[in-house]
A and B are shown apart, each in its own frame.
Chain A
Amino acid sequence: MCLAVPARLVERHDEAGVIELGGLRRTISLALTPEAKVGDYVIVHAGFAISVLDEEQASETLRLLAELASAIPPDDLPPSQP
């Protein structure tokens, strides 16, 4: 599944925003979500925040992801060569 992880918007400068995900920061475009405010959780696709989640939706999703993360076995990445 696509696992669209909610990312918190920590800065906004007009149509550019900075999101934070577990300590990593990335600049994204807010052109599609003009309503996003600093502190909101957003879903990011192709460099755009494509939707804004309210607090309840975001915490519910994060809770499910936390459960999912603990249900998945530790990383054993497949080899990159056949």
Chain B
Amino acid sequence: MAQKILIEPVTRIEGHAKVSIYLGDDGRVERALLHINEFRGFEKFCEGRMYFEMPAITPRICGICPVSHHLAAAKACDAVAGVQPPRTASLLRELMHMGQVIQSHSMHFFELAGPDILLGFDAEPAKRNIVGLVEEYPEVALKGVLLRKFGQSVIAHLGEKRVHPRFAVVGGVNSALSPASRDTILKESEERLKDVQDGIAIIKSWLEKNQDYAQAFASFPCGYMGLVREDGALELYDGRVRFIDCDGNLLEEFAPADYLDYIGEHVEPWSWLKFPFYRKFGWPDGVYRVGPLARLNVASHISTPLANKEHQEWRSLRSGKPVQATLYYHYARLVETLYAIERLQELLQDPEITSNDIVAFPDSLVGHGVGCLEAPRGTLFHDYTVDEQGRLTAVNFIVATGHNNWAMSKSVEEVAKAFVDGKNLTEGMLNRVEAAIRAYDPCLSCSTHAIGQMPLDISIYARDGSLVRRLVRG
């Protein structure tokens, strides 16, 4: 029975990344578009359910970063119920979030995308994966495995079931942290701190050696959005939303609940995924990016010492202006992993972290609530409206891949401009289109495929609209 019903998701999981490239009169690339035919219907599907089911439902549907949806849903539920979780509950949720950031970021760098960078885009596809990485840099691959396991173990200490946690509930969490678990995690964190610093050294030396290439690869100006603390420091779990422009000037800072006043969503007929933009600038001037690169760009500093040192270097890359080159996402991911481990240590050293005061009970319903946090891939909003029984009447999600929809398309366009010469399309060019998309680590069906094997469907059109060439891979 499951098989028949699964036909639709299957067509999605087998989906190609569909790209259209448009040539100008001179035969050069004028414009390129990445079409996304996913992300529909989930909000409608949630309507009619009880709001407090959301922390359990959303991670099941979104299995790539289940903890992010689990926690954003719980935060939205708190707001719907008008309840403030006890301090310990917030600390524990943030701790779980750090576990997720560590495991997701380190997996992406060391195992999924790292090989692409370290072994080269033009290396033979069979080698450009973790197997090739283990052969060439065995110690690097091991660090990645240990970091990822560490992040997962943090989640497991809290949520028991590591894939789909049942941990956060309306008003708090449902289990306390034992002193023994705290000590185990703390003890291991020291070693992992060294591993991630080694990773940072690797990406920095790669970027230095390949500076011209890295600076030119899908580099373009746009706005940036991310959460910050009151004092402007990097924040991943609970902060204010900050927008900056392409030169780094502060545009706006606001409470996440007010996001609709600042973020508009543009619809294009050629994509199912909407294009969020900064309202005051309108579409398309208000386009922006989210995720690790954006977060390091919007933050004035980082609250933990080692990560802050890295951040100061980051800020010096363009003399205080935002870093624009897409491959720097990988570097930013590791600086954030460093922060996540340091922050995890701070949380564990808090005397209240093992308290049993972990849930507050709601006594009425506010009726509407927004939950927001920085998922590994970028800012995540859950927005729920309920009736007086607590049944959902409206649900809105903005996910990281949505915020980055324009940026991914733009990155593909930049790559096409640099690497497509008229009718000529090479395997190397395809790898670069893929690398531009992968830098954002999108949770799209085309990215379920192995690195170097993303199914691509690229069409090149002449000025008069006629198809010049079509190349399908996979």
Contacts and interface: CB of A to CB of B under 8 A. Distances in A.
Contact of A21 (B10, B39, B465): B10
B8 A24 contact: no
Given A57-B163, A72-B41, A65 B449 contact: no
B111 interface: yes
A3 B62 contact: yes
Contacts of A60: 60
A28 interface: yes
A38 interface: no
Given A2-B62, A3-B62, A53-B163, A69 B447 contact: no
Question: Interface range on chain A: under 10, 10 to 19, 20 to 34, or 35 or more?
Answer: 35 or more
A5 B13 contact: yes
Interface in B419-446: 438, 443-445
Interface residues of B, number: 68
B6 A22 contact: yes
A41 to B, nearest CB: 10
A69 B161 CA distance: 26
B18 A82 contact: no
A48 B111 contact: yes
A78 B161 contact: no
Given A24-B10, A32-B148, A64 B112 contact: no
A71 B448 contact: no
A47 B20 contact: no
A53 B37 CA distance: 27
Nearest to B145: A32
A45 B64 contact: yes
A50 B39 CA distance: 21
Interface in B1-60: 2-14, 18, 20, 33, 35, 37-42, 44-45, 57-58, 60
Contacts of A7: 13
Interface stretch (B239-247, B269-277, B318-326, B358-366): B269-277
A65 B3 CA distance: 11
Interface of A: 1-7, 15, 21-24, 28-29, 31-32, 43-48, 50-54, 57, 60-62, 64-73, 75, 77-82
Given A1-B42, A68-B41, A71-B41, 8 more contacts: A2-B443, A32-B107, A43-B64, A46-B438, A62-B6, A64-B57, A71-B44, A77-B37
